[in-house]
Structures are given as C-alpha cells and as structure tokens.
Structure 1
Amino acid sequence: MPDGVADEAGDLARERVVEAALARLGLDDKARLLAGQDRWTLPALPGIGLASLVMSDGPVGVRGVRWTADDPSAALPSPTALAATWDPELAHRAGVLLAQEARRKGVHVLLAPTVNLHRSPLGGRHFEAYSEDPYLTGRIGTGYVAGVQSGGVGTTVKHFVANDAETERFTVDNLVSERALRELYLAPFEAIVAGARPWGVMTAYNSVNGSTMTEHGPLVNGVLRGEWGFDGINVSDWSAARDTVRAVRGGLDIAMPGPDTVYGEALARAVREGRVEEATVDSAVRNVLRLAARLGILEGAAPVVAAPPADVDGRALAREIARRSFVLVRNEPAGSTEGTKGTRGTGTTGTAGSGPALPLRPGTTVALLGAAARDARVLGGGSATVFPDRIVSPLDGLTAALPEGSVTYAVGADPNEELSIADRGFTLRAVCRDAAGTVLGSTVVPNGDVKWTDVDLPEGVTHANLRGVELTGTFLARESGTHTFGIKGLGAFTLTVGGTTYFDGVQRPAKEDPFAAFFGAPEPHARVELEAGERVEVSLAHTVETSEGTTATSVLFALAHQEPRRDPEELIAEAAAAAREADTAVVVVATTDRVESEGFDRADLRLPGRQDDLVRAVAAANPNTVVVVNSGSPVELPWRNEVAAVLLSWFPGQEGGAALAEVLTGAAEPGGRLPTTWGALADAPVTEVVPVDGQLAYSEGVFIGYRAWEKAGRTPAYPFGHGLGYTTWSYESVEAVEPAEGERGTEGRTVRVRLRNTGERAGHEIVQVYVSPAGPDAAAGPERPLRWLAGFAGVEAVPGETAETVVTLPGRAFEVWDETAGAWARVKGSYEIAAGRSIADRRVATAITV
C-alpha cells in the first residue's frame, strides 16, 4: 500500500465523520468552504470542528504562507535535477523532507509536483517539470507524492492537463488528439493516481480541445474521477476559475485564491436560483472534508499519518540529490577533439592522452570562471522560488574542498543583462505607514523583494490601514564603477540613493498581464558611481494603491540592482589569462530568471550574454577546460567538442556548490542521466509554443522528445538517458522472464540484466530498458515510436564485480490508445527488449512475443 494511505477501516471511519460534518453544514458555509478566504487558506468552520486548511507553493521547497526571505526554507535541486537521478526512492526521500518543512511552517497541502511534459525545448518553465518521457515522469512523481504524504501532508499534482508551455497560458486552447492525451500527457497523472493515491490535483489555466481545464468535466469527472477512481480535491490554479456554474459542474472543488472567487456567495446564489444542484456542491464539499479528515484537521477524524517520519537533514539531502543529479555528458583527455560519446575511466589530467579531465587530480590548481560560479543560480524563477537560509556557490564549494591557494576566480562573462533583486551588500528594513505617514510597524528584510499577503505583514499592520511601505537601509559596493538601481513592480514609487531622488512617479505594465508585478523585469532608474567598499544609503518608498471602498490584499514590489558593467572583451581576456596559469579551467555558465522562469517561454536555447565567447576563449587558453552548465533545461552548447568535459548541474539547490566540489574532485561520482534530450533548436523536431488565433495544435501527436528525434532521423547533441560516470561498465546479458503459465497479459513480465564494473573504482549505473516493435509485424497497426522507455533500475558495484537487476515491464508498454474504441488496445507481435546506457547506447537485447 502506498505511503500516506490509510487502511480500509481508517478510510471508512473518516468517511463517516465526513458525512456527519457535511450534514451539519448550510448552503452558505458549503459555498464559503470552496472559496479561499485569502491567498493561501480555506476558512475554518468551528461549528463542525474544521480548522483552516493552509496551502503553499513548492516543488523544491515549502514557501509557507509568508513568502519572505526572513522565513527561510530548505531549497532542493530543481525537478529536472530530481528526474536526472532516475531514482524514485530518492524522490520519496525528498518528499519526506518537504513534508517535514510543511509541518514546520503550518502547511497542510503542498502545491506540487508539476508533472507536465517537456513537449518543446522552448518551454520556459520546464525546470519545474521532470522530463519529456511520461513513464519516467510518472515514476519520479509517484515517489515524490508518496514521500510527501507519508509525512501527513497533502499534494496537488499539477497542472492537469497539457500545461506544457507558458505563452498565452491563461487563455490558450491546446488541441491534442485523444491518443496523445492518453499516451503522453495524462499518463503521468494516471500513474501517480494509481501508485501514490494523491490527495489533490490542480487544474490548469489552459483549455484542452475547447474547454478550459477548470470546467473540463470529461477529463476531470470522466477520466480522473471516473476511470481512475481519484477521490482527492481538485483546486484551480490561482485565478484560473472563470465561471461559477461551469466550474462546479466540471468537477472543480476549490477556486483559489480568495476572497473574491467564482465560488462563495456566487455559488450559493447559483444554487438558490436553480442554476446548480446543491448535490453538486455537496460532492465538492465532501472532497474538501475528506482531505481535512486525512490531514487530521476535522474533529473526530483520525489523520492518515498519526506520527510523521523521523526528521531528515535537509542540507545533507539537498547535497546528495545534487551530486546524484549532475550529468557528465562529456569527459575527454585535455585537448581532445573527439565526438560526444565520451571517455569513461580514471587517471590523471593535464595533458592530452593522460586520461579524462574529471575527476580532478590531487594537487591541481583551478581557475574558476563565470559570474554564476560566484553568484550561483540554485533554483528557477516564479512560484517555485523559495528563500534558503544559505547558498553554497561553486566558488564556496571548491575553495573549501581544495587546498588554500589552489583556486583563482574571475567573472569572465555575466549572463545577467538586467537588474536583479537587491541582495548581496544590502542591509534593508521595511517600514510601514498609514495614510497620514504614521509608522505602523517595521521588519528587517534579508533582500529587496517584498511579497506580502495578509499573514506576511509586520506586527501591528493590516491591509486596511497600510498605505505605504519604504525599503530603507544601506548598500555596500563590492566593485567600483557605475551601479544601477531600479524598481520591480507596479504603482507609485520614490527611489533615493545617497540622498538623491532618482525616480518619483508611477510604473505601469507594458502590456496587460495579471502577473506583471510578479514576473515582470525590473526597470532601471538610477545610475550611481561608487567605489569598492563604499557604503551608501538607499530608500525605495511605495504607495499601496486601493480603490474607493476596497482594501489591497497583497503588496508586491522589489528594489533591484545591477553591478558595474565592464567591457566584455576585457572580462573575457582576464578569464583566459587566469586559465593559462592554472592546471584546469572550470567555467560555470548559466541561464537567468529572464530566460527560464514561470510566465513566459524561451525565444531560443542560447546562453545569455557573452558566455559562449568566454568558453571558447578559455578553451583556447587551456585545453583542460571543464564547463559546468547551470541551467534547468536544455541550452545549446556550440563549443561542446572544443572542451575536455561538460557537466550539467541543473538548478542544484542550496548545497549545489558543495555537491559540485565533491563531484569535480572525485569524492563522489556524477550520478545523473538525461531526463530530456539536449540538442540544437534548429534540429529539434517540436518547437511550436506560440498559439495561432488562441489555439496551439499539438500536431506532432505522440512524437515528442526522443520519440520525435528518432522519427525525424536527427542526432541530438546528447540523447535521452545519456550520462557518464567515473568507471566503465560491460553489459553481459539481458534475459526475458516469461510469465507463468496461465498468467494473462504482460503485467508482471520482467527482464533480468547482468552487467560488470570493468573500471578502477566503485560506481553507480542506471540500467535503462527500451521496448521496440520488431519482426514483420512492426509496421502494422497504428504508427508508433521506434522505441520507448519501459523500465529502469540503479545498480552499484565495485571494480570487477558483477551486478544483476530485474526490471518489471508494465503492460501499458505494449498498448496504444484506440481512439475508435475509446480504450487501451494491446498490440500483439514481436518486440525487441534492449538494455543499455541511453536511448542511443543500447548494449544487449532479446526478443519477446506479446
């Protein structure tokens, strides 16, 4: 039975409590319970012993209802990193930690995980989803959900469904065939419902085939609840619910955020006017009460989890996930110009032919280069953002790991071409005032980002009396030159630096966007000459706007800053000079929150700024160049065959720099494999993310990711599943275990794979099993991919040791969705079962007949 799931007797007991509570509720309380009372909570109903239910964003940490840096959260690596571990048990452990964090912050439901697919590499929010493959996504998501719920905290698997891009995400109508929906986009949700019994889902902003998802009865009531038996809550994405009657009839239980939603008074009125049956409202209320009973916040109901799991060391787990997620996609001797397959093994570095570049040999000197090496980007932008209590940068990690004097640093190239939230060097306090200018309260803020809802306000401050917020304090410059200060947000502001007022006016959005204050870029307003070590006073005053008779429900703005912009050629020359003096050059390149974030898609896959030029200049100066790619999803690496090694670190979480030092020095092996194909945008088969007349056609059908690359006959830079370690493996055999006599279908069919560690050190290998139609019947029936992932398992072995693993192949691996019959259909015939290291590196194979 999945973690976090009670036994049948416990379920029945909770259902009795739920029904009794429901019978005591009047219509107005029922309708009010389905509408948020504020941004994150549902109202308490003391009359039935129901406490207020609290939700919070995830998925890499638990923000809590106070989204401020003075309430820190553990920050794990990005979901793409978690998927790159190919380890559902590790995902489960991540979930346990997040449940621990949620309970510490008084959160009952985590708004995660995101299990949408990487349909196109241009998706701007892909760092928050796992993979291009539905099977891998489902396995990792199942582990994550089971882990969170084992701690007595609910999840909302999102975004149901086909929310695979950000362009026009509030209004786009995605046109998806029934077969593609079933085989790709619904598949992870189905797997998680079956394997982990989630307590919630979140329906998306977008429409699917003409109906917005918050009103999509056929997919919610028909498939999710009807076919799959889902019995949890269905909560809208924030502000996604549009119509009272259509939403409740379409299966939406909770409309967030509150208090102004399509539910509440509007829903009670619709029932009284005969437009909605009260029984329909009862169904939604029953789902909410069932969740409350599972959580233990409904009087008389025993929670599913009476005692949470033992405490988890968040820093240690974040570090472990990071190093297990790093994908070494290239590792050649210094100066090698060989292709991308890579060399696996150990040995010293430094001269061509002396062994692969990684791990670093003892006593090596390192030139660490790149802005992201010093100011690490550890997580993606948007609602996934949390504030950890510390961040270990690559510079911090390597400096601590290597002997004193071994590491030199140069910026080389800065990808941040815009202002960032005021952080390093700033000491700030937020002062709140009423309409008369009287101080109501104040609080220390760790950075310049203010995101306040009801519970975030300082003591003594309410939205009713708040009319102004001033960020005031000092800035200590770490570099000499022209520093730029600016503002992120909408409304009236006054910006003062060093006693001079540089802006006193109103900022408005360039285009209509309900989240412009949240995701928009900061606007520069002040350019100030400062010397390194100089301290200057700063102030950003914001007038909180209200309409007559209304009260603001949130305060969203930020003080922004950019360090002096030096001549790019000079910076690159400095980096190249540092590289020449070191045994190894390590260049950290990165995307920014203006490239990968919630709220917009990507225009291209290029690294921002002059980072490509930096890598080429460094590689020319030192043939032993290692590049660390700090991005949440694929970027183009046009220099990849010009450097000795390429290591993908994703967004590695708060302990990323420490994990990176372990991997670079060889204290740990890079454990990751690609969960998504990496290649040039010009070669990518599926690139369309921009709707035409409000519609986006998924015309590629079931061919996305590696399925599409293989169909098109194109070779990516690095294929799905690829990843190197620090030892070598020989795959010796794969054997299909035939089902027992009389056993129906293919459920439970297994394959046994044997392999040997042929290298010089212990290692971890991820055995991947792919299914491919074979024989004369391969082309018969519906068009299918050339092959697809059907199973995987991790093994470990010391040098010379043989490891054996048994992989179960799901029956669904041999089925397609028959659109005519409206059902799954087994495709009989011969299949090749291949095991290996990636979709393109299959080592051993056997055949079965279905």
Structure 2
Amino acid sequence: MEKDIDKILKNLRLSEKASLLSGGDFWQTEAVERLNIPAIFLVDGPHGVRYVADRDHDDPAKKATCFPTAVNLAASWDLNLIKKAAAALAVEAKARGVDVLLGPGINIKRSPLGGRNFEYFSEDPFLSAELAVEFIKTVQKNGVGTSLKHYVANNQEYKRFSIDAQIDERPLREIYLAAFEKVIKEANPWTVMAAYNQINGDFATENDYLLQDILRDQWGYDNLVVSDWWAVHNRVKALKAGLDLEMPGADPVNDQKVIDAVQAGELKEEVVDQAVRRILELILKTQKKAKKDFKLPVEEHHQLAKEIAGETIVLLKNQGPLLPLTAAKLADKESILVVGELAQKPSYQGIGSSQVNPTRLDNHYQALEDKFGEELELHYTPGYNSEAEPGENESLKEKALRVAENKDYVIIYAGLPEQAEAEGYDRQDMQLPKEQNQLIKELAAVNPNIIVILNNGSAVDLRQWLDKVSAVIEAGLPGQAGASALADIIAGEINPSAKLAESYPLKLEDNPSYLNFPGSSDSVRYGEGIYIGYRYYDKRKMEVLFPFGYGLSYTEFAYRALEAPDYLAEGDKLKIKILIENTGQFKGKEIIQLYLSQQNPSLARPPKELKGFGKIELEPGEKEWLELELDYQDLAYYHPQAGWIVESDRFKIMIGASSREIKFTEDIEVESSFVLKDLTAKSPFEDWLADPLGEKAVKEVLTEAEIEEIGFLKAWPLYRMHFFTPEQVSFEEIEEILDIYENN
C-alpha cells in the first residue's frame, strides 16, 4: 500500500470509496486490490483474542488465553498489571494476524443488573479511565490498535439496539462521558466504537452532537469511529455525523446509498474522503510493525493469566481469621470438603461477543487437590445441580450436609448461572440461585468453618448467609487460570490485595437506578443524575453490604501520616504523600484511595469523588511513603452553562482504605479565576420544566397533596434527582437540596 494517502484518494473511484466505508466481511475491512489497499482484521478482545476464522460455518474461535475479565482487572487497581495483560493481548493479536482489538469497554456500571457488567471496569469514571489509558497505550505501543467502547451510555442489554437513554447534560458529562474524554485525550485510541442505543433521541452512530461536537471538535479526536456491529440505521446520516466505518460488511445497499447521496448533492464528497482517509490511516498504522513470526506463548501466558488473577480476587470476609490455610494451621487437620457444581465446571468468563476459547482451563477441585492433597483428604460432592430435575437438588443438598458434619473445612463454590452473565440479557435480580443460598445456610449450621467462593461479574445479595459463614472470597470471573490462583490464595501463597471497583448495596431496591432500570419499551430515564454508585449511597448516608474500594488482606496496614499542602494555586498539581506501615504477619499490598470533596460548590456535588489511587507492597514491619499527584482539572465539575469549572473554595482531601474507611482528612484552599456570577442568569428550573415528561412524570411518583405541599417547581427537580418520596428523604432534606439551586 502506498503511503501517500492524498494520492490514493485521487485514484479511488467513488464506488471504491463507498465500499471502504463498510466492512469486507464480518471481521475485515474492505480491500481494494487495484490500489494494493489491504484488508485489516478487527476482532473482540477485551480479555482475550476472539478470532473466528469462518463465521458463516460457525467455526469456534481459535484458541487464545482467557485472561481475567474487566470486573477482575479493575479490582486490582493496578496499572502495572493492566500493562502486563495488555502487552500479552497484543502479542496474541499479532500471532493471530489481528490488527485491532475491540476493547476496552468503559461504560459505567449503572445497575448491578446490567448483563455486560463483567466486561466493564467500574461504577466510577475516574478509575475506569485510568485503567483504560494504560491498556490502550500498551496495546498500541506494541503495534495493535484498540477500539474504545461503547460510546456512549450502553448501560443495559434490554432493548439495547433501540433504547433511548435520556440523560441530562451534567450526568452525561460527569459520569457517562468523563472516562471517554480522559482516555481520548491521554491515550488517543486508534478507533472509537459507537454504541447501539440512542442518546437523547439520536442513535449513537448518527449522533452529531456526540460524534462531531464533543468527540471531534471539543476533544480533538481525529482517528476512526466505527459502529458496533449492525448499529447503523441511516448510513448517510451516520456519515455526516462523523461515523467512518460501518461494520460488519459487505453492504452493497448502503454503498449505493452513499454513492446516490453524493451524486444527488445531498452528501459532500469531501465528507466521504475524510472518512476514507481515516480508514486508510488506520490501515497504515497496522502495517507499520510486521506481525509475522509471532507464536502464541501458550504456557507462558497461562502462567501470566494466573499471576494476574491472583491480584484481582477480593477477600470479603475472614472471621477468625479462618484463612489462609497454611501448613501450620493444617498440622492437626485431616480433611477438606469441596462443594459445588462450579468446583468442577469453573465459571471464569461471561457469555457473548467477548467469549474466549481458552488454551486450557484450570479446575478448582484439581487445583485444591494439587495444593492440599498430600497433607489432607479432599472430598467432593456437588451439593446442587443447575439443571436438576424437581427434587434432585434436595437429595444433593442432604448428602452434602451429611458429609460436611465431620470435615475440618468446607469450601463451597457458588455463583451466577451462565445465562445470567451474558450479552443480550440483563439480570432480573441480585440473587444467587435459590439452591445455592439454601445450601450455604444449612452447611453453616453443621460446620463452623465454611469458606464461600463467589463467581459473578457484578454485585450479588449475600444477606441470607453472610453472617453465618467464616470466610467469603469474591473471585469474580477470573479467566482460565483463576482456579489455580484461587488455590494459592486459600493456601496463603498469595496474599489477596484486590478491592471492589463497585458498591455492593444491601438490596436491589437501594440502587439509585432501581426505579429507572431498564426503562420502558422505547426509553430509559437516567433520573438519578450524577448520583451513581458510592456517590448516591454517601449522599443518602445509606448502609451498604460492601462499599466501593473495599477488600481485606491477610495482613494489616496502618496509615501513619499524611503530607498535603493547605493551598493550591490555579493550574498547579496537587501532590500528597501518605506513610503506610505493614503491621501484620504477611507480606502484602495495600490500595490507597484519594477522594475529594468541595465545601461550597455552586451546584450540588457528591460528598466524595475518587480522584487518585496507588498500590504499595510492604514486608511485615516495613513502612514506606506513597506519593500521589493530581492535575488541577481533577478538582473540576461540569456546569451546564459553563462547562468544566474549578471554583475558588475549600476542598477536603480524604485518604482511605475504601470509600467508607477514611483514614485521613485534610482541608486545602483552592484558587480559581473562574466566577460563576459572570454567566448569564438562568433559572435551573427552565430546562427541567421543558422536559417532555414534565408534570405527568411528577404525578406518577408524588401525590397531589405532596405536590401542593412542596410546589410543582420543587417537585419536578425533586423527581429528576431521584429523591422520590418522603419515605426516602425528608422535606427538610428536600429544602436543603433545592436551596443550592435557588441560591444561584
């Protein structure tokens, strides 16, 4: 292929240009042999290279390493670990002749029920962005492209091809676009994938505001925008909006529509040329580094998958402490009972387009046998069967209870069924299968040493038995080597260090999106605004099962000192140091989290927002300073009239082991030249009252008497902020919230 793109464009016929704008087949771009323009491969790859050679004949994907899924990678809070995974994925992509990996996915976990939550990092845009930046930089540095997805608000599977996500400007910017903005500006992915859904009335693939005004003009992105597969509804409109490549292909119908539009004067050929230019530029990038002679390092990458999994598994409970089961602890013990269908049939990834055909798959029971088999007797009984006939699970449970009575330890593997962690379907509730919950409760009644291992891609409700068992490990969906990593954690050869990247509410009804998920047949209202995840639970001062950023270790860490400035000038970086000491008996790693809070913002802000984190490894008795640095812009929030702003105000720095375990707080005075009163005065109620849902929506959640008491003008923003009824929030709290707006 010639490197002079201008020359290529002049030599391309209009029909050839149009053909380049859609794929040549399911996974490849179109080739133009006349001008030596090759096709390139784009395949799924968030946690493993899913290369399907012949989709028409339903061939399985070629074997590749299945690394831990995004839910696990995020729980590591470890940028170096992300780099290792990304570098390995780039090697495997080259070994398969793949040019662009379709990932990472950075959509926000708006509800625990989202069917693809396992593919997404977090409920927090800052954490999601930091991880994605390192992933993309590393993959692309190794000569393989990435596709940042799904742009934007692909937060549910219900009606995902058509649902209209109705989102106000501030939550759109602060929550759902924030991670995309940071990644675009810092990592410059070779492609961005436009989502299936609509946003405020326009499909993501045809949304001029999102693709042109924001992505191109405001953020300066000039690489290729590709559609999710079959997400384009109007090819000409999508092209005008800024969508370059339609996938999959080939689509001669849409090619002809582009040709006809140009010839009729409805579409400028310059628009076509710009899209073709971006496609040619992508092809050139992928050709710069040869992909020949790359072999799939099967065993090396399996061991790497195990190493990564060990850093992504969260210890939720350890009463006693029961764990780890070290040689000294097992000296006078005789037996372990392993229970659960999942011990023999590991749940290690979700179902859908990201599903990897693993090079090998470790088995939980075998991994435990290898670890403890020489010292202890290991016994296995299924305890439940997800496909059991009526009455069968009762007999399986009774057998497990009889065997468990005289065993020293019982390790039970539980988790969501395969169909619950699947693209195309949202979960119906937060519950584990009934037979699993009942089995765990009854096992705990006959044996005090119960260790529960969970396999799931998002939050589950554990209240039925959490206080009855001794230890709980959240293994997530840890990839093909997760079983071996988990055995090492149980034995104490790995000290767990991961922490949750999402909140676990007590119950589904506590989730801020509960009343607005998944919406009606044609739209879903993001009525909770900016109050997602821990932001909401903190605002409401609600108890949670496990907070954002939570995770235990086999050792203990003391937060000894904080060094932070008391003043920050405009444009300066915020630099702080935290002294951490390992006061326990095991070598371990601690994740330190930095949250910020503004004292008197002009618009309401959450009580705290994650703005920094770091990870430190210490020997027993060792202490060390951890340094964190924040950009001035990290203090900003989005004002619908002014954009991103930092105000002169007093801010609070909070250093914590989780969002609910704050170890240090420090006040800092922040200087800013921005003055909000310089803006044209406008009532914040104007936009709310112009909403088409308007009075009808208010009357659906508030009685006439309640509306009369607080007034429609106040009832409407109350509804929009998702504070629905006096049972959820007092009128005094309502007045306090609304005063913030009325005083502007």
TM-based fold match above 0.5 = yes
**Matching of residue 648 in structure 1 with residue 474 in structure 2:** yes
Corresponding position of 2:638: 817
Moved more, 357-366 or 150-159: 357-366
Q: Percent identity?
A: 35
1:736 to 542, 545, 564: 564
Secondary structure of 1:717's match?
Answer: strand
Return the alpha-carbon distance in structure 2 between the equivalents of residues 796 and 737 of structure 1.
25
**Matching of residue 668 in structure 1 with residue 489 in structure 2:** no
Distance 1:16 1:390, change over 3 A: closer
Return the alpha-carbon distance in structure 2 between the equivalents of residues 92 and 157 of structure 1.
16
Question: Which residue identity is paired with 1:716?
Answer: V
Corresponding position of 1:454: none
Secondary structure of 2:645's match?
Answer: strand
Distance 1:261 1:384, change over 3 A: farther
Corresponding position of 2:38: 51
- What do the CA deviations read for 1:706-761 (whole angstroms, capped 9, x no partner)? 00111122111000000001100110111114789xx6324x21111111000012
2:337 to 364, 367, 375: 367
Equivalent residues, number:
657
Kept in 2, the 8 Å contact 1:82–1:325? The answer is: yes
- What do the CA deviations read for 1:29-66 (whole angstroms, capped 9, x no partner)? 11101111211111212233221111111211111133
Kept in 2, the 8 Å contact 1:630–1:651? The answer is: yes
Corresponding position of 2:443: 618
Corresponding position of 1:504: none
Distance 1:78 1:702, change over 3 A: same
**Matching of residue 807 in structure 1 with residue 628 in structure 2:** yes
Alignment of 1:167-186 (within 5 A): 167-186=158-177
**Deviation at residue 24 of structure 1 after TM alignment:** 1.9
Kept in 2, the 8 Å contact 1:236–1:255? The answer is: yes
Return the alpha-carbon distance in structure 1 between the equivalents of residues 189 and 521 of structure 2.
36
**Deviation at residue 362 of structure 1 after TM alignment:** 3.4
Question: Which residue identity is paired with 1:22?
Answer: L
Return the alpha-carbon distance in structure 2 between the equivalents of residues 796 and 307 of structure 1.
37
Q: Which has the higher strand share?
A: 1
Distance 1:262 1:318, change over 3 A: farther
Return the alpha-carbon distance in structure 2 between the equivalents of residues 327 and 686 of structure 1.
25
Question: Which residue identity is paired with 2:393?
Answer: P
Return the alpha-carbon distance in structure 2 between the equivalents of residues 663 and 565 of structure 1.
36
Moved more, 254-263 or 74-83: 254-263
Distance 1:587 1:732, change over 3 A: same
TM-score, normalised to structure 2's length?
Answer: 0.85
Which stretches in structure 2 are left out of the alignment for 5+ residues? 671-744
Corresponding position of 1:141: 132
**Matching of residue 357 in structure 1 with residue 323 in structure 2:** yes
Alignment of 1:11-410 (within 5 A): 17-66=4-53, 68-69=59-60, 71-260=62-251, 263-296=254-287, 302-303=288-289, 313-333=300-320, 355-360=321-326, 361-363=329-331, 364=333, 365-404=335-374, 406-410=377-381
Which stretches in structure 1 are left out of the alignment for 5+ residues? 1-13, 297-301, 334-354, 418-562
Kept in 2, the 8 Å contact 1:115–1:129? The answer is: yes
Corresponding position of 1:585: 410
**Deviation at residue 262 of structure 1 after TM alignment:** 6.1
**Deviation at residue 803 of structure 1 after TM alignment:** 1.5
Return the alpha-carbon distance in structure 2 between the equivalents of residues 316 and 739 of structure 1.
47
Secondary structure of 1:270's match?
Answer: helix
**Matching of residue 721 in structure 1 with residue 558 in structure 2:** no
1:762 to 587, 590, 602: 587
Kept in 2, the 8 Å contact 1:116–1:185? The answer is: yes
Corresponding position of 2:741: none
**Deviation at residue 16 of structure 1 after TM alignment:** 6.3
Kept in 2, the 8 Å contact 1:151–1:305? The answer is: no
Corresponding position of 2:509: 682
Corresponding position of 1:481: none
**Deviation at residue 828 of structure 1 after TM alignment:** 2.2
- What do the CA deviations read for 1:355-381 (whole angstroms, capped 9, x no partner)? 433345334432111111110011001
**Deviation at residue 691 of structure 1 after TM alignment:** 2.2
Question: Which residue identity is paired with 1:836?
Answer: G
Structure 1 vs Structure 2 CA RMSD: 2.1
2:613 to 767, 792, 817: 792
Kept in 1, the 8 Å contact 2:63–2:359? The answer is: yes
**Deviation at residue 675 of structure 1 after TM alignment:** 0.1
Kept in 1, the 8 Å contact 2:51–2:61? The answer is: no
Kept in 1, the 8 Å contact 2:261–2:267? The answer is: yes
Corresponding position of 1:547: none
Corresponding position of 1:832: 652
Corresponding position of 1:843: 663
Return the alpha-carbon distance in structure 2 between the equivalents of residues 308 and 815 of structure 1.
45
Return the alpha-carbon distance in structure 2 between the equivalents of residues 179 and 590 of structure 1.
36
Alignment of 1:424-439 (within 5 A): none
Return the alpha-carbon distance in structure 2 between the equivalents of residues 29 and 70 of structure 1.
31
Return the alpha-carbon distance in structure 2 between the equivalents of residues 841 and 65 of structure 1.
46
Kept in 2, the 8 Å contact 1:150–1:305? The answer is: no
Kept in 1, the 8 Å contact 2:416–2:456? The answer is: yes
Return the alpha-carbon distance in structure 2 between the equivalents of residues 310 and 377 of structure 1.
24
Return the alpha-carbon distance in structure 2 between the equivalents of residues 814 and 148 of structure 1.
30
**Deviation at residue 651 of structure 1 after TM alignment:** 0.6
Question: Which residue identity is paired with 2:379?
Answer: T
Question: Which residue identity is paired with 1:190?
Answer: E
Return the alpha-carbon distance in structure 2 between the equivalents of residues 270 and 196 of structure 1.
35
Kept in 2, the 8 Å contact 1:137–1:188? The answer is: yes
**Deviation at residue 306 of structure 1 after TM alignment:** 11
TM-score, normalised to structure 1's length?
Answer: 0.75
**Matching of residue 705 in structure 1 with residue 533 in structure 2:** yes
Return the alpha-carbon distance in structure 2 between the equivalents of residues 270 and 730 of structure 1.
67
Distance 1:142 1:70, change over 3 A: closer
**Deviation at residue 304 of structure 1 after TM alignment:** 10
Return the alpha-carbon distance in structure 2 between the equivalents of residues 599 and 713 of structure 1.
34
Secondary structure of 2:106's match?
Answer: coil
Task: Report which structure shows greater RCO (CA 8 Å, sep ≥6).
Answer: 1
Kept in 2, the 8 Å contact 1:34–1:263? The answer is: no
Question: Which residue identity is paired with 2:513?
Answer: V
Q: Which has the higher helix share?
A: 2
1:751 to 545, 566, 576: 576
**Deviation at residue 266 of structure 1 after TM alignment:** 2.2
**Deviation at residue 619 of structure 1 after TM alignment:** 0.9
Return the alpha-carbon distance in structure 2 between the equivalents of residues 178 and 660 of structure 1.
43
Alignment of 1:504-515 (within 5 A): none
- What do the CA deviations read for 1:445-480 (whole angstroms, capped 9, x no partner)? xxxxxxxxxxxxxxxxxxxxxxxxxxxxxxxxxxxx
Kept in 2, the 8 Å contact 1:64–1:106? The answer is: no
Secondary structure of 1:838's match?
Answer: coil
Kept in 1, the 8 Å contact 2:555–2:588? The answer is: yes
Return the alpha-carbon distance in structure 2 between the equivalents of residues 324 and 565 of structure 1.
40
Question: Which residue identity is paired with 2:625?
Answer: E
Kept in 2, the 8 Å contact 1:72–1:388? The answer is: yes
**Deviation at residue 261 of structure 1 after TM alignment:** 6.6
Kept in 2, the 8 Å contact 1:834–1:845? The answer is: yes
Return the alpha-carbon distance in structure 1 between the equivalents of residues 617 and 390 of structure 2.
48
Question: Which residue identity is paired with 2:553?
Answer: G
Corresponding position of 2:676: none
Question: Which residue identity is paired with 1:684?
Answer: N
Return the alpha-carbon distance in structure 2 between the equivalents of residues 739 and 88 of structure 1.
29
Distance 1:179 1:717, change over 3 A: same
